Structure 1
Amino acid sequence: MALPLPNRIALGLMALALIAGLSIAPTQRAQAAVPTFDERIAGQTMKVAPGVTAQTVVRDGVAATDGVQTLANNGTNADWAKLVLLFGGWPKTEENVTVILRWMRQENGPPDWWNRNNPLNNGYGSGGGAGLGSYPDLVTAARYCAENLHRGYPEIVAGLAAGSSADATAQAIWASPWASSHYANGAHWSTRPVEIVQAPADAW
């Protein structure tokens, strides 16, 4: 028996509504919102164990040291004294510079301290066993001087390594065989200030 027309229309509308509902239904489960970083750490605290203290970071200081070229460019007898200390690995203290300047004065004198490019009349490497030889330049002279002291003058080396007393190092120089006169055990050794004199550029 056929349904009345109004009933058939109602059934058709219900079927259409059912099909439409299925077609718009979500095919995937909705994902929950991901919390942000700030939301995740909110409320969190950090505990530090007892006895733990903040560490102090100490950075090494940077100190400028005159190099060979700088000393040669300056070119004075004080710079040559520092050059000997540099090559010898000794501290460039005021006491060390002073004793070498005094030593240079006893050997050649400030006005001509670069004589034969051999300020301390060193026989080692200069071609003059009695200290009357010469070097091609003052830098070479300083290097040979430091080497010679290390080779056979331990008391002088000890004084320069300490770098604390020009007088103590001078006594080691007098007692050494560097000069046959031994500087009259200090009688021929002046302690007055040494004049600072620049050598000619071609001596370096």
Structure 2
Amino acid sequence: MRPRHRRVATALAATVAVAGLLATLALAPLPRVGVPVAEASVTTVSPFTGAVQEVEVDGDVAPASVSREGYSTTTGPETLVDSGTNYDWAKLVLVFGDWPLTDENVRLMVEWMREENGPDNWWNRNNPLNNGYGSGGGSGLGSYDTLVTAAEYAASNLKKRSFYADIVAGLEAGTSADATARAIWASPWASSHYGNGAWWSSSPVPVVAAPASAWGR
């Protein structure tokens, strides 16, 4: 190649190289003023198309609190009277005596009631435990106006007599119907002492409702 032509070719190549460099710089995004380079170079592509919805939340809005209701149940005299079974009367005595309503205490009471009047007529004379205190009959042969009154007197008699202290202790513990039954046999509640347990059954007692009149209804 002749020297002149060589100079022209060299100049032309240099021009093309400069043009290519300028094109490369033009394609590179320039960072915005005041924005870090790393942030400016991040491009977020949304997978959604169409209209964009914006939701504005006030900065001082506090999260809504979740309310959780607390529930508790209490066995009261009216609830027991409304149900009206032998098991309810047993619980009523425990309520008036302020003794725990454990399964063992309830079992002890309904077994005791069965030994006194039988399961099918446990409300006999409105005196399920044949309690002489306050019934006017002595020796457990008296009666009460309602089963509610009978429950009050049964609890009161047990608590006020020192010779029933072991029965009361068993009811306060509420952990063993058998242990409390032995305390009953040893007490003067029944002159027979229930054959020292020989006449006492621990088999399940059926649920039997008393007439509404026995409850004073």
Using the alignment, how far apart are the partners of 1:130 and 1:62 within structure 2? Answer: 45
Structure 2 partner of 1:132: 141
Letter in 1 for 2:168: V
Letter in 2 for 1:184: G
Using the alignment, how far apart are the partners of 1:180 and 1:166 within structure 2? Answer: 21
* 1:115 aligns to 2:121 (yes or no): no
Using the alignment, how far apart are the partners of 2:189 and 2:71 within structure 1? Answer: 38
Structure 1 partner of 2:109: 100
Q: Deviations over 1:16-43 (max 9, x none)?
A: xxxxxxxxxxxxxxxxxxxxxxxxxxxx
Using the alignment, how far apart are the partners of 1:128 and 1:162 within structure 2? Answer: 32
- Equivalent residues in 2 for 1:165-204 (5 A)? 165-204=176-215
Using the alignment, how far apart are the partners of 1:150 and 1:136 within structure 2? Answer: 21
Letter in 2 for 1:183: Y
Using the alignment, how far apart are the partners of 2:76 and 2:99 within structure 1? Answer: 14
Using the alignment, how far apart are the partners of 1:130 and 1:63 within structure 2? Answer: 41
**TM-align CA RMSD:** 1.2
* 1:66 aligns to 2:59 (yes or no): no
Letter in 2 for 1:67: G
Aligned length: 145
Using the alignment, how far apart are the partners of 1:142 and 1:63 within structure 2? Answer: 25
3-state SS of paired residue (2:190): coil
Using the alignment, how far apart are the partners of 1:146 and 1:62 within structure 2? Answer: 29
Deviation of the 1:196 alpha carbon: 0.7
Structure 2 partner of 1:155: 166
Using the alignment, how far apart are the partners of 2:74 and 2:152 within structure 1? Answer: 18
Label 1:62 to 1:158 Cα distance change in 2 as closer, same or farther (>3 A).
farther
Deviation of the 1:66 alpha carbon: 1.4
Using the alignment, how far apart are the partners of 1:104 and 1:86 within structure 2? Answer: 16
Stretches of 4+ aligned residues off by more than 6 angstroms: none
Structure 2 partner of 1:144: 153
Using the alignment, how far apart are the partners of 1:133 and 1:103 within structure 2? Answer: 18
Q: Deviations over 1:123-168 (max 9, x none)?
A: 0000011000000000000000000000111100000000000000
Using the alignment, how far apart are the partners of 2:76 and 2:115 within structure 1? Answer: 26
TM-score normalized by structure 1? 0.70
TM-score normalized by structure 2? 0.66
Using the alignment, how far apart are the partners of 2:182 and 2:104 within structure 1? Answer: 13
Letter in 2 for 1:134: S
3-state SS of paired residue (2:120): helix
